[in-house]
Amino acid sequence: MHAEHELSLSAFEVLMFLEDAPEHRMRMSEIADRVLLSRSGCTRLVDRLARQGYVTRCAATTDGRGLNAQLTDAGLKKITAARTTHREGIRRYFLDRLTTTDQIVLGDIWARFRGREAEPHESPAV
């Protein structure tokens, strides 16, 4: 990820969470909790992503005290490319080493972790 996209794993996660969030926006505290960083570590990471043009920081609309990070168009482009690389890596280094039966069983296991039963022979989503 770093060699191809110049993103650390934590930066990739922040961009990924923002891409998935409504309006591509999240509270800074929620981001810190999700990427398992301290609040100050999250602030430094988001500041770096902002300097790179991938996110902006803005006041929370629900209260005046909170801060949000929001994905920019450049950030959306970066995470789209990085997710493609990530999926290709998962497929190449992990899924391609499994048989079809192994993938079906793994899909069933992942479905249980997500709290739902997999459809018969549903393959894992990557």
Does the pLDDT of residue 126 top 70, yes or no?
A: no
Q: How far apart are CA 113 and CA 120, in angstroms?
A: 16
Per-residue buried b or exposed e for 95-120, using 16+ beta carbons within 10 Å of the residue's own CB: eeeeeeeebbebbbeebeeeeeebee
Q: What is the mean pLDDT of the chain?
A: 89
Cβ contact 17:27 at 8 Å:
no
Give me the percent of the chain exceeding a pLDDT of 70.
90
Domains and CATH numbers, the chain: 2-86 (1.10.10.10)
Does the pLDDT of residue 113 top 80, yes or no?
A: yes
pLDDT at 121: 53
Mean pLDDT of 65-78: 93
